[in-house]
């Protein structure tokens, strides 16, 4: 199973914001375990970052922190704590939850330079149920634009890699 690029799903609560987004990215994969809830699917992907990716995130956070941006703690990156259920407003891993339903979990972070959201959406497809992982950002200033220029080329293959790792490990 491989994550494939796809169009932003109309069923996502983020879809109305795609027209004004500075960046968007969307990947789809068939679910091997369609009974998993969106919290378990989120953790299956974002709770299993390889060590090299954690180190890259720590370096990014050190630089971003120097620029005055809100960043996750080192513990949230290196040893994320997860629980079986969540509510909107709580934090899952390093990110606050903005939306949570039976079919979609949206988490992210708001900062002065940009707002970021990631969505994990279960949706029926022709055949097996699929998982769509999408992200979008709204930049607020030139720093946000410069940041996206640096991060976007790393984000796309990085998120696809995380989805593919979860799928190949049987977590999805």
127, 97 contact by CB (below 8 A): no
Question: How far from 163 is each of 5, 31, 106, 114, 157, CA to CA, in Å?
Answer: 12, 11, 16, 24, 10
| Orientation of helix 142-168 relative to helix 51-66, angle to 10° | 160
Residue-wise pLDDT tens digits, 131-149: 999 999 999 999 889 888 9
Q: Render pLDDT for 38-93 as a digit per residue (tens, 0 to 9).
A: 999 999 999 888 887 777 787 877 777 776 777 777 777 777 778 888 999 999 98
CA 164, 165, 168, 172 dihedral sign is: negative
pLDDT at 50: 83
What number of CA atoms fall less than 13 Å from residue 72's CA on the CB side?
21
The whole-angstrom separation of Cα 116 and Cα 155 is 12
Q: Of 80, 61, 78, 59, nearest to 69 (Cα)?
A: 61
d(CA 160, CA 163): 5
As given in the structure block, the two tokens for residue 114 are 């940009």
Query: Which domains are delineated in the chain?
Result: 4-9+21-168 (3.30.530)
Query: Is the pLDDT score of 28 beyond 80?
Result: yes
CA 151 to chain centre: 14
Residues 6+ apart with CB under 8 A from 36: 44, 172
């Amino acid at each position: 199973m491989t994550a494939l690029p796809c169009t932003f799903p109309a069923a996502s609560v983020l879809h109305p914001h795609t027209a004004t987004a500075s960046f968007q990215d969307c990947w789809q994969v068939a679910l091997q375990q369609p009974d998993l809830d969106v919290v378990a699917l989120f953790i299956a992907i974002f709770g299993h970052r390889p060590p090299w990716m954690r180190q890259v995130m720590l370096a990014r956070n050190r630089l971003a922190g120097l620029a005055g941006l809100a960043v996750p703690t080192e513990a949230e990156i290196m040893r994320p704590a997860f629980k079986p259920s969540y509510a909107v407003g709580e934090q899952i891993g390093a990110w606050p939850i903005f939306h949570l339903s039976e079919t979609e979990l949206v988490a992210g972070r708001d900062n002065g330079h940009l707002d970021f959201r990631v969505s994990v959406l279960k949706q029926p497809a022709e055949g097996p149920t699929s998982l769509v992982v999408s992200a979008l950002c709204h930049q607020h200033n030139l720093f946000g634009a410069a940041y996206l220029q640096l991060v976007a080329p790393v984000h796309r293959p990085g998120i696809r890699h995380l989805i593919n790792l979860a799928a190949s490990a049987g977590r999805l």
